[in-house]
Amino acid sequence: MPGIRAPSNYSEEPPRHPALKINAKEPFNAEPPRQALVSSYVTPTEFFYKRSHGPIPVVDDIERYSVSVAGLIEKPKQLFMKDIMNLPKYNVTATLQCAGNRRTAMSKTRTVKGVGWDVSALGNAIWGGAKLADVLELVGIPKLTSVTPAGGKHVEFVSVDRCKEEKGGPYKASIPLVQATNPEADVLLAYEMNGETLNRDHGYPLRVVVPGVIGARSVKWLDSINIDSQVCQGFFMQKDYKMFPPSVNWDNIDWSTRRPQMDFPVQSAICSLEDMNVGKSGKITIKGYAVSGGGRGIERVDISTDGGKTWKEASRYQKPGVQYIADQEEKSDKWAWVLFETEADVHSNTVIVAKAVDTSANVQPEKVEDIWNLRGILNTSWHRVHVQVRHSSM
């Protein structure tokens, strides 16, 4: 398309931070070290996980770049960056999480298919841009519309990005029109991240941000928006990112039996400790993140220092110095993660466990075996880390 292109190879990749743990090089997929992840409430852009399906698109001429909005609507339009930037600008603090976060741990139970991720395939950013609800008003769709007069019920986002899963075609995904046209859902066409212009890895010049939903629906490098009568028929909506029971394998799978995954279930992970730790007897700091989908807040985070026999509650916070109260607008960012912290006295070898509870009282499942699925998505089982105490010899 004019102004932007998808390269045919990986010779024009952007620079990346050397501390990132690379899980796949081409296409580039990487996450930060877990301890760096929880050092701040807002994730620095260079430490925000990188998830791509092909070479990173290149903008040659930002003046010529535009997004077409078409489909089951009365007045299709080409929108240029100036049109989008003329709309009211909103800043939304939202955590994006890859559906494959913690996949590596699930694979240890039984092998799964997909990019291996530790616990850092997520990040919390301040996204700046226009609300999709305002953009859709430009093409004659009023706010809070669930169906257009021509029968449009879904908003499909098509990327400039080309991927092998689409046989060289573009990456795409969709969300319901009623969500897209609801200003309270805070769906953005974002051109800023953490107060700066989006960088190439994160979707420059324009991306979708769908808060509370798995990252796969927040399409980067936006090419076009289509209003359709049905859910997007692309690979990543139909043949991926669906939650199957443990009994389904690659021989008996029927993709049509499951709906595309949207909201993320409640999740938490300990980030101040690695999976295996050796240390001295005494006080230990336990820090991590907890997050749920759909705008649900975190009601509590339970920590066990004896493998899950007894529990105590960790303190929760978002912005430094502000008491976090879930569901209170001035006290919390509804789309963002919550960081937690507690201290424990550890004097013998043990397993430290974290589990979070959201405001709908959803709780993480205890065992990964119970939620094992062949694509290794949504590993939200209790997060466990092992601590070995080294007794100093006198």
pLDDT of res. 157: 99
Q: pLDDT band for 321, please (50, 70, 90 cuts).
A: confident
pLDDT digits (tens, 9 = 90+) for 164-173: 999 999 999 9
pLDDT bin (cut points 50, 70, 90) of residue 393 is low
Distances (CA, A) of 19 to 34, 49, 71, 121, 200: 11, 12, 43, 14, 18
Instruction: Quickly state the pLDDT bin for 329 (edges 50, 70, 90).
Output: confident
For residue range 207-248, list pLDDT tens digits in order: 999 999 999 999 999 999 999 999 999 999 999 999 999 999
For residue 83, give the 3-state DSSP assignment: helix
Q: 51: closest CA among 23, 74, 72?
A: 23
Q: What percent of the chain has pLDDT over 70?
A: 99
- What mean pLDDT comes out for the span 7-36? 98
Which two structure tokens, joined as six digits, stand for 358?
A: 């959201």
Percent pLDDT > 90 in the chain is 95
In this prediction, residue 87 carries a pLDDT of 98
Radius of gyration from C-alpha coordinates of the chain: 21
How many angstroms separate the CA atoms of 186 and 175, rounded? 13
Instruction: Name 344's bridge partners.
Output: 284
Q: How far apart are the first and last CA of the chain?
A: 71
pLDDT tier, 392 (very low <50, low <70, confident <90, very high otherwise): low
Please report which helix (H) or strand (E) contains residue 5, including its range: strand 4-5
pTM for the structure as a whole: 0.97
* Residue 347 in this model has a pLDDT that exceeds 80: yes
Average pLDDT of the chain? Answer: 97
pLDDT the model gives residue 238: 98
Q: For position 212, what pLDDT does the model report?
A: 98
Interval 47-67: pLDDT, tens: 999 999 999 999 999 999 999
In tens, the pLDDT along 139-192 reads 999 999 999 999 999 999 999 999 999 999 999 999 999 999 999 999 999 999
Residues 275-316 pLDDT 10s: 999 999 999 999 999 999 999 999 999 999 999 999 999 999
Q: What is the DSSP letter of 220?
A: S
pLDDT in tens, 107-144: 999 999 999 999 999 999 999 999 999 999 999 999 99
By DSSP bridging, strand 276-279 and strand 154-162 are unpaired
With a cut of 70, say whether residue 394 has pLDDT above it.
no
* 164/130 Cα distance (integer angstroms): 31
